Structure 1
Amino acid sequence: MLRTVRTLAAATAALLLATACNSASTSGESSGSSGKGSSVRGVTKESIKVGGIVSMTTASGYSKKDTDLGAKARYDRANAEGGVNGRKIDYLGAEDDGQDPARNLAAARKLVQREKVFAVSPMSSVTFSAGDFLNQQKVPTFGWGTVPSFCGPEYIYGFGGCMVPMPGGTITQSWPEGLAQVLGGAKGKSVAILATDNDAGTFAIRTYKQGFTAAGFKVDFAKAIVPATSLPNDWSAYTKEILRSNGGKAPDAVVSVMQTPYNIGLFTAVKRAGYKGVITDPTDYDPGLLAKDATRQALDGVHVLLSFEPFESGSPAMKQFKEDIRKAAGKDVPLNMHMMTGYMSADLFLSIAEKAGKDLTVESFQQAAKSFSDTGTLVGDRAMPKGQRESFGCGALVQLKDGAYRISSPFKCYQPIPFK
């Protein structure tokens, strides 16, 4: 495993090696093809079995449960349209890993060894400890490529590409370029970037410091210092340092690379300290967050990075997404980015499976993936195997203002920069 991936996965490396090496061999299929009557894991003449793994419950209260709804919505439409090359999708739903590495791996073992799924889609957890296991078992796996396990392994795919830069790869510029539009340009503008004190946070700081600098920003503060295991009760130490980072003055933008509970605390604190600049994060695009007054006030004015087309878009693809979600939920429900994660994970799996043809095996699926490409999706133009090495490079910013999200930087694909 490359050094960058080892660094980010240090917390779970021992667990992965110990369990993956001792796992029973269920790589999934015989040397024959399904059309000749031999067995292919999870595939029959009538169906393709798929499962998911999602952090539905977490210690902080943050939940990605609607990822499951998004996946179901896309699979339901596929089945209503006749399935994939005549086969219906038998979606088992998502296992809850509780954002725990051991449970993530246990869920993967269950789906592969007991349920015999052909694919895992969606996979949505920041503790993707099952990556090595699923890749070794030759299980096509799809999710949001924001952790290293989505970058490089042969059988694992990010629906927006690999969003964790690899050595020799690139860094997507959608966030800094979008923020430059919001600020009327990057030249002379200062940003302060804050992340949690763990491997992922440290790597995020390294990545975004390069990206914002390349876009023309001054990066006077970039630190991964917030405890990752518990929410701070007092944010004053962080806010004081941030608000003096621009030569003793406040920066033009505060960039948080943290999850919602942390952002609420940080943003509330900087606002109380009198900060009037731009605040931005990649997490808080969720109308459900607006139900509580304190949360709504904390996030008001924040510009949120999206790696997909905003819900506020009126494109045909977005209209189809909204219709599919409504049908799956049985009613109108507030949309959120977790639904999009499940939906587009399922969509990429379905698109590659369709190209693989009626004689579906892991080998035919992987062969189809090697030359797969399409355009005009909710995440922009997709291409493999590029997406296993780098992001598709597209994004938008939306701002929460007066209880509603508005597009502040339109969805666009940007030229990436080399990762150093």
Structure 2
Amino acid sequence: MRHHGRAALVLSVACAVGVAGCSAGSNGSSAGTVTVNPALSKLGPDHGWSQTNVTVDPNSLACSAPASNPNRGVTATSVKIGMLATATSPGGVAFGDFPTGAKVRIDAANAAGGVNGRTIDLLGTRDDAGDAGRDGAQAKALVEKDQPFAAFVQTIDGNYIDAFCSAEMPFFGWGGNSGFCGNAIGFGITGCATPKTGDPRAYDTGGALTMANALPAGTARTAALIGLDNDSARQGIITVGQGMQAGGFKIVYEESPIPISGLKDATSIVNDIMRADSGKPPAVVFFVAQFGDAVKLSGSLKAAGYKGMIVSPLYDPRVSTVPELEGTYALLGWQGGFATDVPAVAQMVADFRKYSPGTALSLTATAGYWAADMLVKALQKTGENLTVDSFLKTLNTSYTNYVPGTVPETRWPLNHVAPSPCGTLAHLTNGAWSAPGLQCGAIAKAS
């Protein structure tokens, strides 16, 4: 199913783009300024990044028991993969392009002969419709009725994890909800972005340093963080703040005043922002908002005379001509589909044209493609003697996922508890997106 329309892309979790890890509790209170070793406070290539005092024993993670049915979904000639997604949502936050992207990569793999002699049988999408209760129910149905070997997941809520854990169901996706964190079965293409309370905590510096490097020379590193009025966005704002503080930013505003029902008037928020830094505006405004709210905030900030950087996780070729978004930035955890000078991106674009012509290369569509690519490569490495247990052993034993210039390195099991410290800052100018190459900061243990 393909989801059309601009509102499909906007997230309710800021750190789904891999801005930073979390080290605050779920009560929404900040844990104070985070610091990182100055030797690690610089950007480097999209692989080989530094990790400091962070190690993970996969046996200490949840969902690390042997599978009760290790041969589930596997035959001599096929392997069955399920799909759970927020494909539609009455609130406007949906990931309908994700299943399409995953199917494109699977179609390409099958056209090349499958994996180790097996065709990948991708099942239809179970849609939770953005409802937490339905998310859990659909996950249970997937586990008990569909009985796939593994699954792709892109949902707003993480309520699927209980059903998946009971079946030791490996799953792959973007990693923007808590289900991808603290367990041995969830694999996000940019790691774990939203650790749950009580999980091991780590943070990264990549996103903050990427934004800092885009500021004019001599500009003070000050930032305002604005979020939706829900728990995930509040935690996301804390997450972003932790990473930005680690990257040398002073946070002068950190609030979640945007109603879930939509922002009717941005005036009061903009007024607060314009004097947040001791009477003057900050250098960076980062917000997590639904599409309409993002347009209102950007337009109102510009109308108020704001000249700094406006940054969000919002990227999509379909919003390129929206006047209010002209000149804004999108912080991406992997390279966008516009970067066709990168060989892997060019191949992805060719695959979309062949197997799903007309699909916009949105973040959610490309997330599905790269999640499927991660699964395909893990299947290849595991080999012909494929079981759930052998597959998870492969992935959780010093496994690295990396697509040069396109998807940054993740390391497993480390990235079950931390995001990849990597990203790029896409800029919308003259109706077109562009971005430099991916760069990475460091992952360090949170105090």
* Interval containing the TM-score (normalised by the shorter chain): 0.7 to 0.9
1:156-196 Cα offsets, whole Å, 9 max, x none, are: 11111112257543222222111111103586232111112
Aligned equivalent of 1:184: 216
- Alignment partner of 1:305 out of 305, 322, 331: 331
Aligned equivalent of 2:396: 370
Aligned equivalents of 2:315, 2:360: Cα separation in 1: 11
Change (3 A) 1:118 1:248: same
Q: CA RMSD in A?
A: 2.3
Contact 2:222/2:249 (<8 A) preserved = yes
Alignment length (residue pairs):
384
1:141 and 2:183 matched: no
Aligned equivalents of 1:49, 1:184: Cα separation in 2: 51
Change (3 A) 1:353 1:185: farther
1:321 and 2:348 matched: yes
Aligned equivalents of 1:266, 1:240: Cα separation in 2: 11
**Structure 1: segments with no counterpart, 5+ residues:** 9-26, 34-39
Return the offset for 1:6. 6.6
Aligned equivalents of 2:434, 2:240: Cα separation in 1: 24
Aligned equivalent of 2:188: 158
Return the offset for 1:306. 0.6
Change (3 A) 1:185 1:368: farther
Return the offset for 1:48. 0.8
Aligned equivalent of 1:17: none
Aligned equivalents of 1:61, 1:374: Cα separation in 2: 31
Taking the TM superposition and a 5 Å limit, the aligned residue runs for 1:86-125 are 86-121=117-152, 123-125=153-155
**Structure 2: segments with no counterpart, 5+ residues:** 1-21, 29-65
1:415 and 2:446 matched: no
- Alignment partner of 1:340 out of 363, 366, 370: 366
Counterpart of 2:183 in structure 1: which amino acid?
Answer: P
1:395 and 2:423 matched: yes
Query: Which TM-score applies when normalising by structure 1?
Result: 0.85
Change (3 A) 1:107 1:3: farther
Contact 1:165/1:419 (<8 A) preserved = no
Larger helix percent: 1
Return the offset for 1:249. 1.3
| Percent of residue pairs identical | 31
Taking the TM superposition and a 5 Å limit, the aligned residue runs for 1:172-211 are 172-184=204-216, 188-211=220-243
Change (3 A) 1:65 1:374: closer
- Alignment partner of 1:244 out of 264, 275, 285: 275
Aligned equivalents of 1:340, 1:419: Cα separation in 2: 31
- Alignment partner of 1:127 out of 154, 157, 163: 157
SS at 1:225's partner residue? Answer: strand
Aligned equivalent of 2:264: 233
Contact 2:200/2:417 (<8 A) preserved = no
SS at 1:74's partner residue? Answer: helix
Aligned equivalents of 2:274, 2:90: Cα separation in 1: 30
Return the offset for 1:289. 2.3
1:271 and 2:302 matched: yes
Taking the TM superposition and a 5 Å limit, the aligned residue runs for 1:216-231 are 216-227=248-259, 229-231=260-262
Contact 2:209/2:247 (<8 A) preserved = yes
Return the offset for 1:254. 0.8
Q: Indicate the structure whose relative CO is greater, using CA pairs within 8 Å and at least 6 residues apart.
A: 2
- Alignment partner of 1:262 out of 293, 296, 309: 293
1:96-147 Cα offsets, whole Å, 9 max, x none, are: 21111122122212221111111111x1112121112212221111111122
Aligned equivalent of 1:383: 411
Contact 1:29/1:41 (<8 A) preserved = no
SS at 1:41's partner residue? Answer: coil
Return the offset for 1:214. 2.1
Counterpart of 1:196 in structure 2: which amino acid?
Answer: L
Aligned equivalent of 1:37: none
Aligned equivalent of 1:13: none
Return the offset for 1:4. 6.6
Deviates more, 1:67-76 or 1:196-205: 196-205
Contact 1:72/1:93 (<8 A) preserved = no
Return the offset for 1:28. 6.4
Query: Which TM-score applies when normalising by structure 2?
Result: 0.80
Aligned equivalents of 1:308, 1:186: Cα separation in 2: 28
1:288 and 2:318 matched: yes
Contact 2:128/2:135 (<8 A) preserved = yes
Aligned equivalents of 1:238, 1:244: Cα separation in 2: 10
SS at 1:68's partner residue? Answer: helix
Aligned equivalents of 1:62, 1:199: Cα separation in 2: 15
Return the offset for 1:333. 3.8
1:321-372 Cα offsets, whole Å, 9 max, x none, are: 111111121x254311111111111111122222222121111111111222
Aligned equivalent of 1:12: none
Aligned equivalents of 2:27, 2:85: Cα separation in 1: 23
Change (3 A) 1:169 1:247: same
Aligned equivalents of 1:54, 1:208: Cα separation in 2: 25
